[in-house]
Each structure stands twice: as C-alpha cells, then as structure tokens.
Amino acid sequence: MTIATDPPKESFRLSMLINDTRYRSYTFQAIAVLALIVIFSILGNNLAQNLAAAGLNISYEFLGDPAGYDINQQPIPYDSQSTHMRASIVGALNTLIVAFLACVTATIFGVIAGVLRLSNNWIISKLMSLYVEAFRNVPVLIWIIIIFTVTANVFPQPRDFRGDNPTASMVGDAVAFTNRGVYVPKPVFEAGGWIVVAVFLASIAGIFLWRRYARKVLFDTGRIVPVFLPSLAIFFVPALLAYFILGRPIGLEYPELRGFNFQGGLTIRGSLIALWFALAIYTGAFIAENVRAGILAVSKGQTEAAAALGLRSGRIMNLVILPQALRVIIPPLISQYLNITKNSSLAIAVGYMDLTGTLGGITLNQTGRAIESVLLLMLFYLTFSLTISALMNVYNNSIKLKER
Amino acid sequence: MSDTHAQTVAFVRHTEIPPAPPPPGQTGAVKWMRENLFSGPFNTIMTLLGVYIVYTLVVGIFPWIANGVWGVDNIRECREITQGNGGACFAVIEQRWQQLLFGFEYPSSEYWRPTFAFVLLFVAVAPVLFLNLPRIMLAFTGIYPFLAYFLIWGGTILIPITALLGFVVGYFAFRRLERNSFAAGLFGAVAAALITWWVTGFLVQAAPNFLALPEVASRNMGGFMLNMILGTVCVSLSLPIGIALALGRQSHMPIIKWICVIFIEFIRGVPLITLLFVANVVLAYFFPPETSLDLILRVIIMITMFSSAYIAEVIRGGLAALPRGQYEAADSLGLDYAQATRLIIMPQALKISIPGIVNVAVGLFKDTTLVSVISMFDLVGMIRGPILSSTDWAGVYWELWAFASVLFFVVCYGISQYSQWLERKLQTGHR
C-alpha cells in the first residue's frame, strides 16, 4: 500500500538562491548588475579624476565653433569659417557618397566575377578564381594605398596635356585622367532641366507599373504581355522627347586645360578614386563568393523540374533559379554593404575627407575633444548600421521560406 | 556446302580488327579545348579575352621581375642599372627586410628571439589544427604564450613562469572544487591563481635579473612581427570571450542576455578604426590616473573586444544550428547547465563554427594593418613611414607593396585553405 504524500512545502531559505534553479538565475543577474554598476562607477570615477586633472570637461559646445580648416570635396557649401558641426555633416555626406559608389561598383564586379567563376570556360573561371583569391587575402588598406599610388604617380600631370605635342590626351575630349584627379564633364541644368529629370523618374516608375500590369494580366487571363521592349521604350522615349521639346535644357560642361590645371567640369579626386575602387574591388571579391554560393545552393533538380514543365531557359532563370538564389545571396550582400560603409573610414589613410577624416581627424586634433568626437563618430556609424540591419531583418522575415 | 560458300563470297574476315582510334577532334587536348574553351561563339570570345588578359599580365609583370635589381644601396643606383627596362628595385627589400619584419627599433642582435618564437608558433598550433597529432603536444600549446612572451619581450624568466604557475594552480583548484559545483570551481580557481600571483610577485621583485633576456619595450615592436603578435594574441584571447558572449546571448536570463546583445551589436556596428581611436586617445582616461598602459596593450584590448563580438556571432550561429534534441538529451541525462554546455553543446557547436571562426581570424589578421593609422609602425606603417620617406628609397612603391601583399597573401590564403580542408574532413553527414 502506498501513501501519497504531498511534497513537503518548503519555505524560502537563503541557500535556495544558489542551489535552486528557480531562484539561481535571479542571483546571477543580481551579481551581473552589481558588477556592471561597480565597473561603470570605477570607470566613471577614473574618467572624472583624469578630466579634472587635465582641466577638461565633457561638452559639445565646440561643435558650434568655426572649424578653420578646408575640405577638398564639398557636397554642400562649406568654407573654413563654417562650424565643426557643418564640417562633420560634410564628412558624413562624403562617407555616404563613397559608400554608395563603392556598393554599386562592388555589386557589379561581384556578380560578374561570381557568375563567370561558374562558367564552363576554363581560362575565364581560373582568372576569376585568381581575382577572388588575390583580392580577398590582402588587406583592404594595402589595396587602397596601392590604387592611391597609381592615381598619384602613374596618371600624367596636367602639364602633359599642354603644347602641340602633348604626351597625354583626354579620353574622347571629355575625360582627363591626371595625377590631381579625374576630370569629367558636369551636367548643367538650364531652365526646364529639372522637368526632364522629373519625366525620367516618372518613366522609371512607369516601368514598374507596366511590369505589375503585365503580371496581373498573366495571372488573370494567362496571356503573356511583353515586358522587355516596352520597358526599354518607356525608359528612353519620354525623357528624350521632353529633352528635345524643351530645347535641350541639360548641357554638359567640359573640363578645359587653363593655366596649370583643368578648369570646369567635375573633379573626382585621386583619394576618392582610390577609396572607391579599392573598396569595390576588395568587397567585389567577397560578393563574388556569395553569388557563387547562392547559385550553387539552388539544387539541380529545380532546373530540371522547371525544364520538365516546359519553361524556356530564360524563364527558368527568371522564375525559378534567381528567386531562390537571391534569398541566399541578399543577406550576406547587405552585410557586405555595411562592411563597405565601415571600411570607408579607412579614408583617413589617403586623405579623403569623410566623417573619420573631419570629425575623427582634424576636428579631434584641433579641439582636443577626444571623447566627444569619438563618441559622435561611433554614434553615426552605429545608427547607420543598426538602421540597415533593422530593415534587413524585416526583409529577411518577408522572404523567409514559409515551410510547414 | 561450305565449299560453295567459300567460292561465292570473295572475302571473309577471320580475325577481329583492332578498334580504330576516335577522330582527332574527339580526344585529348583538342576535345578538352573544344568543350572548355571554344564551345560556342560567346565562349570563344571570352577565351580570347582571357588569353589577352593573361598575356598583358605576363608581359607587364615578367620584365619587372626578370630585370629586377638586387644588391644596390639606393634608388638612384637602381634606376641607373634598370635604365627604363621596367625592372624592379628589389634591393630595397634586401636592404630593409629587417625593418619590414621586425620594425626599426627592435635590437638587431635579438632578431633570433621573435624568429624562434615564430617557428615555435607552428609547433604550438599544430595539435590544435591537426587532430591526429599526439595530444601530449597540447601541453606545449599551453606553455607557448608564456614562452613567446619571454622570447619577444625579454626580461626575467620568472615573470612568465609565475604567470604560468598561477594558471596551473588555478587549474588544479578548479579540478578539486569542481566536484562541488562548477561555480565553486571557477571562483576557487580565480582566487587560487590570484593568491599565487600575489605571493610569487615578491619572488620576481627579489630576483629581477634571474635568467633574464635583454628587455625590449613594447613601443619597439614593429613590422610584420607586430601584425603577427596582434593577430595571434587577439584571436586567441577573443575565443573564450566570444564563447562566453555567445552563451550569454543565448541565455534565458534577460539582464545577462541584454548586456551581451548590447555589447555585441555596439562593437559590430562601429568600424575598427574608431575603436583604435578609442585605444589611442580615449582609453587612457578610463584607467586610474597613475597607471600608464602602453599603446600596444590598449590596442590589444580594443582589437580583442572587436574580434570577440564577431566570434560570438559565429558561435551563436553554431549554437543555433545544433538540433534542439541535443539540448533536450543533455537535460534528460540530468546534466546541469555547465556540464551540458561543456560536454554536449560546445564540442558540437564549435565544430560547426570552425569555418566561420577561421574567416573572422583571417579578417582580423588583415585588419591589424589598421594600426598604422594610429601611427604604430606595423608592416604598412613601416613602408609608408620610415622607408618611403627615406631619401634612399623614396619612390620604390611597387616592390614594397608587392612584398607586403605577398606576405599577407601567403598567411591568409594558407589559413583559408586549411579551413576548407577541415570543413571537408569534418563533414560527417550531420551538421
């Protein structure tokens, strides 16, 4: 005969804080919080003592003072009398400019190299492996400096373009590669120029609408509406029409050799080129690997199944392979974009005035506000990264395989 | 009957003829080229383009290497010899290899020490990398950090020995107390180690020159040696911290989880260069006023934080990839958290995350060149600073950067090949 007894009702004892798993986690967390408070108070105390000893305080008032230094690439108006705040904004814009350019170029390089590495052509696939391995395994800083050296030492000097027998010549009379930078024509907007741009943007929106319409017709009636040629037409025709009807409101200002240097046009400085191409080529090698992995991740059965359904090879690629490969490719691609943005801080090595060069470089050295500057610098990159990651998570959840 | 047959048919073959060889277009090199190089018009164009690229590369690089100049003293003599034939000035590497490898202040009579430490590094990591080597070699791996410190920094041998002694005492204290509980073992070990160091500290003070090598200050470290030191030290330190962070991020305790999440996301969200700025100009504010940590130590602290956040994310991936059943099986055996983690979870999770860890290690090793931005003279810093600005060698860019690229390429490519080999080897069917 068994007697069922209730388990003894224990009252809370102090030792349960250690021995009972129900309470132990509270103990550990309390210890963690306590340790954190102790560490932070020690660090804060040291900071206060050191600052007091150096006669400093934490203050962001220096951001309102005139910066007093020049920035060689100004997306927004800036002169040496502008504030440190404005210098930082110019720097941040420069960071975004180089990051954007490098992201676009790296994607192009990466996709081309990744696809070609899977090519049946032996020599091409080997060349692409060579590219990927050579660029992946050498620090990006070395690549940046090497390309900067090329722009500064291999490109001809502006004076080589002068004279009756110039040793250098402009490419198509429009682009000049010099050791002071690359000079390209600059678009000049006259009255009505913006209308052309607006029409162009509207026609891009129109392409998306047309594609959506084509898809809707396909799903509703089964009739295939052509997409490629109409898209091409929508892309070019309205903008060109507007351009000529309005009397060519967008002109180009060509760079010209005047005096010792080129005048007019748009200057792309050597430091921007170095940073841009080094980041693009370096990250392109990583993206190539991601693309290759993404394409290999789609099993061969998918292609065969699509072929068995009677799809043609173009449609197999568009409707079956790419959607599945992109699911694998895009998350690492975005993290490569974040890497580009973070690596663009290496600009300081070649004197490109990005945020690290302005706020973390000259402003920091001039004002001596190390803690404040570095904190702001980190905050900028952190905000940028976390925003992109948050968007990324939303995207990942939306394309996640809805299994079971 | 057979006679008639023989007469009506003029010729009957009695022996089998040997098989004819396939047409020349279907065998060997020709077939291979047809299939792999010229299978269509597009492919043919690509092949010609590829051949052209290879041709330009070879034509560009070959004279540069073949006409290379060795054994001159400065760039002017070098230019005189090459006379525009496109040859390289490899003499700069011959002249300055000590600076490129060891920095310009490491005493040249002591070069054998870092070299010896570098050779021993291979012996130390071999049992970690190749699992079929005898396990007893792991003992040397344990001793190696202290030995390497003694070799590279010098000073009395008592410092690394007492440091090692502290760890050994701590280990035995852990083994002794672990039977009660894991936490008791851990705290006991830390206490025992601290007591040992405190006691033996007097011994070091009493005999500061016992078996001493000439001391080399941290600020004299430079060249590729500095990259190697930063890379190996930071990766090995960040492994345990990364494991702890990954476990913390997976923990059910919200406060500990959030501490780890904030740390990891913060570090991963900022560029390494800002962390190096912290090491250079900010970190000193957070230490007590009288202490003065040298720059290399501050940099090691920040790079270790940086890489441990990345390694934590890799290991978290490994933990997440483990089937739920492994955790449940460990629980149903009655193992507590420490035992389950140590005996069941971690060995499998680490195995899954090895390729990722190797990637982080390679990336980190390449990123050690960033210290040149905060004016430390690592390989890149040496080239940009003392060598390219010297009057003898100003203008010898390609040779020096090629040398640096080759050094990094050899190390990084070697490590990534190892990782791929290991991945193939560890593929046991389940992931």
- The percentage of chain A sitting over the pLDDT mark of 90, rounded to a whole number, equals 18
Q: Residue A309's pLDDT band (boundaries 50, 70, 90)?
A: very high
Residue A128 pLDDT greater than 50, yes or no: yes
Contacts of A374 in chain B (CB under 8 A): 274, 277-278, 281-282
Any A CB within 8 A of B252 CB: yes
Start-to-end CA distance of chain A, whole Å, equals 49
Residues in chain A: 404
Contacts of B286 in chain A (CB under 8 A): 43, 46-47, 50
**Pair A374, A355: CB distance under 8 Å:** no
Between chains, do B256 and A29 touch, taking CB under 8 Å as contact? yes
Mean of the pLDDT values across residues A79-86? Answer: 84
Q: Where are the alpha helices (DSSP H) in A20-62?
A: 21-54
Residue A30's closest CA among B185, B180, B254, B246?
B254
Mean of the pLDDT values across residues B346-371? Answer: 88
Cα–Cα distance measured from residue B354 to residue B347, given in angstroms and rounded to the nearest whole number? 11
pLDDT at residue A143, as a whole number: 92
Between chains, do B413 and A137 touch, taking CB under 8 Å as contact? yes
A-chain residue closest to B273, CA distance? A345
Any A CB within 8 A of B57 CB: no
More confident residue, B397 or A399: B397
Write out residues 403-422 of B within 8 Å (CB-CB) of A: 404-405, 408-409, 412-413, 416
Mean of the pLDDT values across residues B357-383? Answer: 89
CA distances from A323 to A290, A307, A326, B409 (A): 15, 16, 5, 35
Q: What is the pLDDT of residues A324-377, one digit of tens each?
A: 888 888 888 888 999 999 999 988 888 888 888 888 888 888 888 888 888 899
* Chain B nearest CA to A195, separation (Å): 40
Q: What is the pLDDT of residues B163-194, one digit of tens each?
A: 888 888 888 888 888 777 777 788 888 888 88
More confident residue, B24 or A380: A380
* Chain A nearest CA to B236, separation (Å): 20
Residue A4 pLDDT greater than 70, yes or no: no
pLDDT at residue A67, as a whole number: 79
Cα–Cα distance measured from residue B101 to residue B94, given in angstroms and rounded to the nearest whole number? 12
Any A CB within 8 A of B54 CB: yes
Beta bridge partner(s), residue A257: A262
Residue B425 pLDDT greater than 60, yes or no: yes
Between chains, do A122 and B284 touch, taking CB under 8 Å as contact? no
Mean of the pLDDT values across residues B348-365? Answer: 88
Most confident listed range (A54-58, B60-64, B409-413): B409-413
To the nearest whole number, what is the mean pLDDT of chain A?
83
Mean of the pLDDT values across residues B403-430? Answer: 83
Pairing of strands A250-253, A186-189: antiparallel
Between chains, do B253 and A137 touch, taking CB under 8 Å as contact? no
* pTM for the predicted model, two decimal places: 0.85
Between chains, do B269 and A386 touch, taking CB under 8 Å as contact? yes
Mean of the pLDDT values across residues B351-379? Answer: 88
**Pair B418, B129: CB distance under 8 Å:** yes
pLDDT at residue B40, as a whole number: 78
| Rg over CA atoms, chain A | 30
In chain B, the largest separation of any two C-alpha atoms, in whole Å, equals 122
Q: Residue A10's pLDDT band (boundaries 50, 70, 90)?
A: low
**Burial grade of A327 (CB within 10 A; 0-12, 13-18, 19 or more):** middle
Mean of the pLDDT values across residues A394-401? Answer: 77
* Chain A nearest CA to B363, separation (Å): 8
Residue A1 pLDDT greater than 60, yes or no: no
Closest residue to A121, CB basis, from B37, B253, B281: B37
Closest residue to B286, CB basis, from A43, A142, A389: A43
Q: Return the residue in A40, A51, A345, A381 with the most chain B beta carbons within 10 A, the one to mutate for interface testing.
A: A345
DSSP state of A348: G
Between chains, do A345 and B273 touch, taking CB under 8 Å as contact? yes
The alpha carbon of A103 is separated from its chain's Cα centroid by a whole number of angstroms, namely 4
pLDDT at residue A107, as a whole number: 92
Between chains, do A382 and B369 touch, taking CB under 8 Å as contact? no
- The percentage of chain B sitting over the pLDDT mark of 90, rounded to a whole number, equals 18
**Pair A135, A281: CB distance under 8 Å:** yes
Closest residue to A122, CB basis, from B36, B286, B362: B36
pLDDT at residue A6, as a whole number: 66
Residue A9 pLDDT greater than 70, yes or no: no
More confident residue, A306 or B94: A306
* Per-residue b or e along A25-60, where b marks 16 or more CB atoms closer than 10 Å to that residue's CB: eeebbeeeeeeeeeeeeeeeebbeebeeeeeeeeee
Residue B2 pLDDT greater than 70, yes or no: no
pLDDT at residue A123, as a whole number: 87
Any A CB within 8 A of B36 CB: yes
Tokens of B357: 């860890």
- For chains A and B, CB pairs below 8 A equal 152
Residue A403 pLDDT greater than 60, yes or no: no
CA distances from A334 to A89, B269, B404 (A): 24, 13, 30
Q: What is the pLDDT of residues A104-127, one digit of tens each?
A: 999 999 999 988 888 878 888 899
* Chain A nearest CA to B182, separation (Å): 12
Q: What is the pLDDT of residues B51-72, one digit of tens each?
A: 999 999 998 888 888 877 787 7
pLDDT at residue A5, as a whole number: 65
* Chain A nearest CA to B278, separation (Å): 7
Any A CB within 8 A of B334 CB: no
* Chain B nearest CA to A290, separation (Å): 14
Q: What is the pLDDT of residues A20-52, one digit of tens each?
A: 777 778 888 888 899 999 999 998 888 888 888
Between chains, do B362 and A346 touch, taking CB under 8 Å as contact? no
Backbone angles phi and psi of A199, in degrees to 5: -60, -40
Q: Tell me the DSSP string of A238-266.
A: HHHHHHHHTT--EEEEPPEEETTEEESSE
Contacts of A179 in chain B (CB under 8 A): none
Residue B8 pLDDT greater than 70, yes or no: no
Q: What is the pLDDT of residues A166-222, one digit of tens each?
A: 666 776 677 777 777 788 777 777 777 778 888 888 999 999 999 899 888 888 888
Contacts of B271 in chain A (CB under 8 A): 342-343, 345, 356, 381
Write out residues 154-193 of B within 8 Å (CB-CB) of A: 183
Q: Give the containing element (helix H, strand E) for A184.
A: strand A181-184
Tokens of A56: 């400093």
In chain A, the largest separation of any two C-alpha atoms, in whole Å, equals 118
Contacts of B50 in chain A (CB under 8 A): 121, 123-124, 127
**Pair A348, A357: CB distance under 8 Å:** yes
Residue B293 pLDDT greater than 80, yes or no: no
Contacts of B49 in chain A (CB under 8 A): 124
B-chain residue closest to A383, CA distance? B269
Between chains, do A123 and B35 touch, taking CB under 8 Å as contact? no
Any A CB within 8 A of B338 CB: no
Between chains, do B270 and A119 touch, taking CB under 8 Å as contact? no
**Pair B277, A376: CB distance under 8 Å:** no
Tokens of B327: 């955790």
Give the amino acid at B315.
I
* Chain A nearest CA to B108, separation (Å): 27
* Per-residue b or e along B135-152, where b marks 16 or more CB atoms closer than 10 Å to that residue's CB: eeeeeeeeebbbbbbbbb
List the domains of chain B with CATH numbers: 1-66 (no CATH), 91-426 (1.10.3720.10)
Q: Return the residue in A42, A88, A126, A138 with the most chain B beta carbons within 10 A, the one to mutate for interface testing.
A: A138
Between chains, do A378 and B270 touch, taking CB under 8 Å as contact? yes
Contacts of B278 in chain A (CB under 8 A): 374
Q: Residue B431's pLDDT band (boundaries 50, 70, 90)?
A: very low
- The percentage of chain A sitting over the pLDDT mark of 70, rounded to a whole number, equals 92
Contacts of A357 in chain B (CB under 8 A): none
